Structure 1
Amino acid sequence: MNQSATGQEPTKNFALRRRDFSILVAQSEVFTCEVLSQLLKEQGYNVVGRAVEMEDTLQQIRVKRPQCVILESEISGQRSFDIVQEMRASNYQTKFILYTSKPDFRMVAKAMQMGFFGFLYASDGLDELYRCFQTVSNGGCYYSNGFMSLLKNFGVEVLSDATREELSRLSEREKEVLRMIANGATATEIADQLGISYRTTVNHKAHIAKKLQLDSCRQLPRYGISVKSYL
């Protein structure tokens, strides 16, 4: 019973915050945009606008500054990623959730490098969308079951939440060292390339292993290779 109550608490708290979580719905089809906006409003979400064209999406983001945008990849093809880049360059705090119904590998790969906080596929139900909102509002990154299946079909592996949390413990310098380890660099080579002492390099390796809860530094190469794409 305690476990159940604990698990329900975050959901309950998020339900209370829904009105404070402003959302812009940007979809390519007018009907889909209208229906989704209405469904979200009925669930108590603060839908501040809807758009079906890229320029309108940009304008509404600038004026209304929503905390979240559900951005359909098909709204303007690859140009939808330009919206994310422009908003990030302008230091907007808006978080983008990618929704796609006609994915291709290049689009998926690029989206995962663009800084989206959520990834949804057309086969997902509304429950996936609600869980996505909850995760994104708390600063996390959400991959829906439909999107995960899509990635597996493309042969793409996604970091588990546990591994992502492990990597978040590392400083930028420690990630750099781990990346070099994954590329096969020795402690001496790392020290030379980074302009630090051999002892400092050894200390970095020890701290990385400790933060990742590895048994020893000998496990760093294997671990580094497994997460190399995310360093």
Structure 2
Amino acid sequence: MTDAPTPVGPVTIVIVDDHGMFRRGVRAELESAGASEIDVRAEAADVDEAVAAIAEHHPDVVLLDVHLPGGGGVEVMRRLATSPTMSTSGVPPRFLALSVSDAAEDVIGTIRGGARGYVTKTITGPELVQAIQRVATGDAVFSPRLAGFVLDAFAGTIEVSAVDEDLDRLTEREREVMRLIARGYAYKEVAKELFISIKTVETHMSNVLRKLQLSSRHELTRWASDRRLL
């Protein structure tokens, strides 16, 4: 493994997420919790913007959402792997996934794609600052539950390919809505969590039930539980 020098000065980052309100909230939280330790160089809303911002700003760490227009966070890492760029510390940027999803197939797929860590959007500002700093120095950062997914996958106890095949019928946004609804969130809570309208949540939920040939939230919860998506 390539040695990862400790960045000189603040850790430079690019925030990649397709929700503008969320990006601004993360930036404000980081600037408050780690004003002298984190330097947010840019934001990006999709794969193309992310690749361009990383190439321009050479961040130490990319804070990367899993579900992005244009191919998702894995596509960002794939493109940069084929057209490498160096961070200000002289090593390739390191990727820390920050996602609403804590589903096994998202965590494992993102790590296989090249991320050094994966945290969920329930993380606090100080915790996120610490996670970014650790990833910048080459550490791998996960919550205990997510680390268990990764260990299980590489031990062969989770069949990720089967899970992915079942989910192929759903769009990335439908998957996010599906997981939250299956966990018992109300439509209003899902709308707030994902920064979308209640009507949009209802539309996505209708599409999910139709595509999966399910008839109720109860059946959806059982379907998701059987696939270890909760």
TM-score normalised over the length of structure 2? 0.54
- In the other structure, the counterpart of 1:48 is 41
- In the other structure, the counterpart of 1:111 is 110
1:68, distance to aligned residue in structure 2 (A): 1.0
Number of aligned residues = 141
Residue number among 63, 70, 73 corresponding to 1:80 in the alignment: 73
Residue number among 63, 68, 71 corresponding to 2:64 in the alignment: 71
> Per the alignment, do residues 77 and 94 of structure 1 end up closer, same or farther by CA in structure 2, a change over 3 Å counting?
same
1:101, distance to aligned residue in structure 2 (A): 0.7
For residues 8-65 of structure 1, the C-alpha deviation after alignment (integer angstroms, 9 at most, x for no partner) is xxxxxx8x9553x211011121111011112222322211011122211111111111
Confirm or deny: 8 A CA contact 1:78 1:107 kept in the other structure.
Answer: no
Confirm or deny: 8 A CA contact 1:54 1:80 kept in the other structure.
Answer: yes
1:15-164 mapped onto 2 (5 Å cutoff): 18-19=9-10, 21-42=11-32, 43-44=34-35, 45-76=38-69, 78-92=71-85, 93-143=92-142, 145=143, 148-150=144-146, 152=148, 156=152
Q: Distance in 2 between matches of 1:96 and 1:153?
A: 18
Structure 2: 5+ residue stretches without partners: 1-5, 86-91, 156-230
Q: Distance in 2 between matches of 1:139 and 1:150?
A: 18
1:104, distance to aligned residue in structure 2 (A): 3.3
Confirm or deny: 8 A CA contact 1:53 1:75 kept in the other structure.
Answer: yes
Q: Distance in 2 between matches of 1:158 and 1:121?
A: 21
> Per the alignment, do residues 39 and 65 of structure 1 end up closer, same or farther by CA in structure 2, a change over 3 Å counting?
same
SS at the partner of 1:75?
coil
1:98, distance to aligned residue in structure 2 (A): 0.6
1:106, distance to aligned residue in structure 2 (A): 2.4
Q: Which has the higher helix share?
A: 1
> Per the alignment, do residues 112 and 153 of structure 1 end up closer, same or farther by CA in structure 2, a change over 3 Å counting?
closer
1:119, distance to aligned residue in structure 2 (A): 1.0
Tell which structure's C-alpha radius of gyration is larger. 1
SS at the partner of 2:95?
strand
**Could you tell me which amino acid in structure 2 is paired with residue 30 of structure 1?**
G
1:150, distance to aligned residue in structure 2 (A): 4.2
Confirm or deny: 8 A CA contact 2:29 2:125 kept in the other structure.
Answer: no
Q: Distance in 2 between matches of 1:153 and 1:108?
A: 7
Q: Percent identity?
A: 14
TM-score normalised over the length of structure 1? 0.53
1:155, distance to aligned residue in structure 2 (A): 8.2
